[in-house]
């Protein structure tokens, strides 16, 4: 097997707290499995038109998907009439996204780029940037987070919007990961839970029932107010945070927070 078919977290996986490690975590096998993990139909059903409405409300037309993954949102937004550029730092993910797009009759415009150097390869200003599916949590240090947010900020037009989601790590850190908390876009064939959690690491384990395979992702447990503060500090003026797509919620309840950050 080639190195890209196996995940390698070394002798002590809980020591892997490195922003650059994400490209090694999305190995071919995991990328192939990702679409089992993310059941597109049930995901579309559970998120409804939330993102489409948020974008339409603001008159957005040109959208940059910075965490394309296997292409779910890029394809959905194209089908809803948006002009979409699909970026990701992982070549494996983009290849899968392109294939998924083609199966649905779209030729995705893909760009392989790391967020920290986004504007080296992304030109022009977008009406909106989406960074979805708990992606921002791959960044392990504050300098990288600030750099990525600043790059997103400058790729947006003067009154553009950034929509970025994250797991409710406050709930996981303070209350624990309830078994009732289903990963909102999971198919039935996979179980997901945090195998290790501390202030600097949430290591998630993904067990696939069909073939017994197991993969992991090491993430940084972002607290909601911390993410909001960073967004304000890089210049976003107005930040609305939804809990599982709702405006009002008890902080411990949602699985996901969605930040809608406006530049003006």
Interacting residues with ligand SAM (CB under 6 A): 22, 26, 38, 67, 69-70, 72, 88-90, 93, 114-115, 132-135, 138
Q: Considering the complex, what minimum distance in angstroms separates the CB of residue 12 from ligand SAM?
A: 22
First-residue to last-residue Cα distance in the chain: 50
Q: Considering the complex, what minimum distance in angstroms separates the CB of residue 29 from ligand SAM?
A: 15
Please identify, using beta-carbon distances, which residue of 89 and 194 lies nearer to ligand SAM.
Answer: 89
Based on C-alpha coordinates, what's the Rg of the chain? 17
Q: Considering the complex, what minimum distance in angstroms separates the CB of residue 26 from ligand SAM?
A: 5
CA distances from 200 to 20, 83, 229 (A): 16, 37, 18
For residue 191, the tally of other CB atoms under 10 A from its CB is: 15
Q: Considering the complex, what minimum distance in angstroms separates the CB of residue 264 from ligand SAM?
A: 26
Please identify, using beta-carbon distances, which residue of 86 and 241 lies nearer to ligand SAM.
Answer: 86
* Residue facing ligand SAM at closest CB distance: 133
Please identify, using beta-carbon distances, which residue of 60 and 219 lies nearer to ligand SAM.
Answer: 219
Closest CA to 122 of 160, 96, 92, 73: 160
Please identify, using beta-carbon distances, which residue of 60 and 130 lies nearer to ligand SAM.
Answer: 130
Q: Considering the complex, what minimum distance in angstroms separates the CB of residue 250 from ligand SAM?
A: 25
DSSP state for residue 106 in the 8-state scheme: -
CA distances from 165 to 92, 222, 235 (A): 22, 11, 18
Please identify, using beta-carbon distances, which residue of 26 and 169 lies nearer to ligand SAM.
Answer: 26
Q: What share of the chain is helix, strand, coil (3-state, %, to 5)?
A: 40, 25, 35
């Amino acid at each position: 097997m080639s190195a890209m078919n196996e995940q390698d977290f070394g002798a002590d996986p809980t020591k892997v707290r490195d922003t650059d490690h994400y490209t090694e975590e999305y190995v071919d096998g995991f990328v192939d499995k990702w679409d089992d993990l993310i059941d597109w139909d049930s995901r579309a059903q559970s998120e409804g038109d939330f993102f489409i409405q948020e974008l339409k409300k603001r008159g957005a037309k040109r959208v940059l998907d910075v965490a394309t993954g296997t292409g779910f949102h890029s394809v959905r937004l194209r089908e809803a009439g948006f002009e979409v550029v699909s970026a990701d730092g992982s070549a494996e993910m983009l290849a899968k996204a392109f294939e998924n797009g083609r199966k649905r009759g779209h030729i995705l415009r893909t760009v392989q780029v790391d967020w920290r150097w986004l504007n080296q390869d992304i030109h022009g200003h977008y009406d909106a940037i989406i960074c979805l599916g708990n992606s921002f949590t791959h960044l392990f240090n504050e300098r990288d987070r600030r750099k990525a947010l600043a790059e997103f900020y400058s790729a947006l037009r003067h009154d553009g919007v950034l929509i970025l989601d994250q797991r409710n790590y406050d709930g996981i850190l303070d209350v624990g990961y309830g078994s009732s908390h289903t990963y909102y876009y999971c198919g039935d064939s996979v179980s997901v839970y945090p195998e290790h959690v501390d202030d600097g690491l949430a290591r998630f384990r993904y067990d696939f029932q069909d073939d017994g395979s197991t993969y992991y992702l090491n993430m940084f447990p972002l607290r909601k107010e911390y993410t909001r503060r960073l967004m304000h500090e890089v210049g976003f003026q107005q930040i609305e945070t939804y809990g599982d797509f709702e405006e009002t919620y008890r902080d411990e309840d949602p699985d996901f927070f969605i930040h809608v950050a406006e530049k003006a």
